């Protein structure tokens, strides 16, 4: 064997070892984009999902959501409040909020204050 073949074999072996290590780490610890190694978020259950029971409807643009766990975090922060039923549209980076009583932009900001996302628009 010549030196070039030996170097190429060493590079290949090193790459293979690195890849196997990364796959093992992902299998052992998970691999969400948010926090790296966390379990999927459990959804807060809303008792009343009948939208006709909610008189107020809002759309909130939210920046910083990148995965399903992000969307679930936002939904949970909103849905844990009485009289609110929210669904997040991750593709459009917005939450649709149905409320039984009128809420304000300040209310929504307060519901989301513990999360690392930015409320961009409220209508």
> How does pLDDT run across 34-54, given as a tens digit for each residue?
555 566 778 889 989 999 999
DSSP 52: G
Q: Please, where are the H alpha helices in 30-104?
A: 68-79
**pLDDT by residue (tens digit) across 102-119?**
999 999 999 998 898 888
In a domain, residue 40? The reply is no
DSSP 115: S
Question: What pTM, to 2 d.p., does this model score?
Answer: 0.68
Q: Looking at the structure, do residues 113 and 70 belong to the same domain, yes or no?
A: yes
CATH number, domain of 114, equals 3.30.70.100
pLDDT above 70 (res 26): no
Cα Rg of the chain, angstroms? 22
- Average pLDDT on 80-106 reads 95
Burial of 99 per CB tally in 10 Å (0-12, 13-18, 19+): buried
92 in Cβ contact with 74 (< 8 Å): no
Range of the domain at 4: 1-30
Q: Where are the beta strands (DSSP E) in 1-123?
A: 56-63, 84-89, 94-99, 118-122
Q: Total domain count for the chain?
A: 2
The C-alpha atoms of residue 79 and residue 97 are separated, in whole angstroms, by: 9
């Amino acid at each position: 064997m010549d030196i070039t073949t030996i170097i190429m074999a060493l590079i290949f072996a090193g790459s293979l070892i690195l890849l196997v290590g990364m796959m093992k780490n992902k299998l052992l610890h998970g691999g969400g984009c948010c926090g790296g190694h966390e379990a999927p978020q459990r959804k807060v259950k809303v008792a009343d999902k009948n939208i006709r029971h909610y008189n107020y409807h809002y759309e909130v643009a939210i920046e910083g959501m990148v995965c399903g766990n992000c969307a679930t975090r936002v939904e949970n922060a909103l849905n844990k409040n009485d009289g609110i039923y929210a669904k997040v549209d991750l593709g459009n980076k917005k939450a649709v909020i149905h409320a039984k009583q009128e809420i304000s932009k300040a209310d929504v900001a307060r519901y989301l204050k513990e999360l690392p996302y930015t409320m961009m628009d409220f209508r």
